[in-house]
Amino acid sequence: MTTLTETPAERRSAGAPPVEAADVHVRLGASPVLRGVDLRVAAGEVVALLGANGSGKSTLVRTLVGVLPPTSGEVRLFGRPLGDGVPWGRVGYVPQRVSAAAGVPSTAEEVVASGLLHGRRLRLPRGWRDRAHEALELVDLADRRRTATQQLSGGQQQRVLIARALVRRPDLLVLDEPVAGVDRPSQEAFAATMARLVADGTTVLVVLHELGELAPLVQRAVVLRHGRVVHDGAPPRPRPGHEEAEHEHVHPHAAPRSERGEGDMGLAEGPFEAGMSTTTDEVAP
Ligand SMILES: Nc1ncnc2c1ncn2[C@@H]1O[C@H](COP(=O)(O)OP(=O)(O)OP(=O)(O)O)[C@@H](O)[C@H]1O
């Protein structure tokens, strides 16, 4: 819908897909990590990004949200090339394996409120506490809002980081392995949160090692191998045994390198072999 407050650029990009990447290449050091990735995510889609360790999933999402510059190719978010023109307030990003407890002691609500700062916004807006409370409610942690993040479990800290992305009420949510190594209650709380957001029309691009609790929500899977898209379409079906509630997984980062399949591309090489099953979840205290 066109409104009087829209600029011509906003009108042009109004119907643009949240994510468009064309022939994206990224080199890190001497290595080509992404080799010509094309990706389009339409409004309201839920897309899982899968692939073996080191296939380039994190590099791709970091490039899409402007953390890493592409060596060549183009990325547009909501129709705007990466840069100041992107409506960053509409984009929520949950990076991989960042502790919410790093640095100075902060309460959960302070960490969440920091998600309201982006681009040129350097001061928290009025009503930030209510916004933080609302976001913490979404991840079922409103009762811990005044708790120092150091005192939260690993899974709860991850939920705080998800709330930090949600506090912007984003139209596009990009998550890099949001449930890796978190306890089952946090995985379930996360899946319930995602279901609500998806029902509200949020577009989601999520890096996963396996679909797990999110399987019912994921409409499309994009599989990377050696920095290229090797599958873009139907999500994989769970492999035998993986649908059982008691089946337990370990995130590859939690296992020693020798157990992760690194250097053994056969282990998680196939487009539908992105999930790994080894021993047990890391359960936060
Ligand atoms: N800063 C860096 N400098 C050089 N190489 C890097 C850098 N960051 C990542 N790489 C390499 O780029 C490749 C892709 O890494 P990336 O983290 O994107 O893969 P991934 O698919 O997300 O893996 P994982 O599932 O283990 O998180 C890997 O070979 C990795 O070693």
Residues 89-99 have pLDDT tens digits of 899 998 876 66
Q: Is 59 in the pocket of ligand 1 (CB under 6 A)?
A: yes
pLDDT digits (tens, 9 = 90+) for 111-137: 898 888 765 656 777 778 899 999 999
* Main-chain dihedrals φ then ψ at residue 10, nearest 5 degrees: -65, -40
Atom of ligand 1 nearest to the CA of 224: 21
31 CA to middle of ligand 1, Å? 10
260 CA to middle of ligand 1, Å? 14
22 lies in a domain? yes
pLDDT digits (tens, 9 = 90+) for 174-229: 999 888 877 787 788 888 889 999 999 999 999 998 888 889 999 999 999 999 99
150 lies in a domain? no
Q: Is 33 in the pocket of ligand 1 (CB under 6 A)?
A: yes
13 lies in a domain? yes
Q: What is the mean pLDDT of residues 138-158?
A: 87
Number of domains in the chain: 1
pTM equals 0.78
Q: What is the mean pLDDT of residues 141-164?
A: 87
| Confidence category of residue 156, pLDDT binned at 50, 70, 90 | confident
- Closest C-alpha residue for ligand 1 atom 1: 28
Separation CA 272–CA 278 (nearest Å): 17
pLDDT digits (tens, 9 = 90+) for 34-80: 999 999 999 999 999 999 999 999 999 999 999 899 999 999 999 99
Separation CA 100–CA 204 (nearest Å): 22
Q: Which of 37, 57, 177 to mutate to test the pocket of ligand 1 (most atoms within 8 A of CB)?
A: 57
Q: What angle do CA 161, 163, 165 make, to 5 degrees?
A: 75
**Strand (E) or helix (H) holding 13:** helix 8-13
Res 14: pLDDT: 63
Res 97: pLDDT: 62
43 lies in a domain? yes
Q: Do 36 and 228 form a contact (C-beta atoms < 8 A)?
A: yes
- Closest C-alpha residue for ligand 1 atom 5: 28
DSSP string, 168-197: T--SEEEEESTTTT--HHHHHHHHHHHHHH
Q: Is 30 in the pocket of ligand 1 (CB under 6 A)?
A: no
124 lies in a domain? no
Q: Which is it for the CA torsion 90, 94, 95, 100, positive or negative?
A: positive
Domain with residue 54: its CATH number is: 3.40.50.300
125 CA to middle of ligand 1, Å? 36
154 lies in a domain? no
**What residues make up the domain containing 219?**
8-98+172-259
Q: What is the mean pLDDT of residues 273-278?
A: 28
Count the neighbouring beta carbons within 10 Å of the beta carbon of residue 99: 13
pLDDT digits (tens, 9 = 90+) for 239-265: 655 444 334 333 444 333 333 333 322
Separation CA 205–CA 94 (nearest Å): 11
Q: Is 41 in the pocket of ligand 1 (CB under 6 A)?
A: no
Q: Is 158 in the pocket of ligand 1 (CB under 6 A)?
A: no
Which ipTM was obtained for this model?
0.95
Atom of ligand 1 nearest to the CA of 59: 18
148 lies in a domain? no
136 lies in a domain? no
Identify which of 101, 108, 235 has the alpha carbon closest to the alpha carbon of residue 166: 108
7 CA to middle of ligand 1, Å? 39
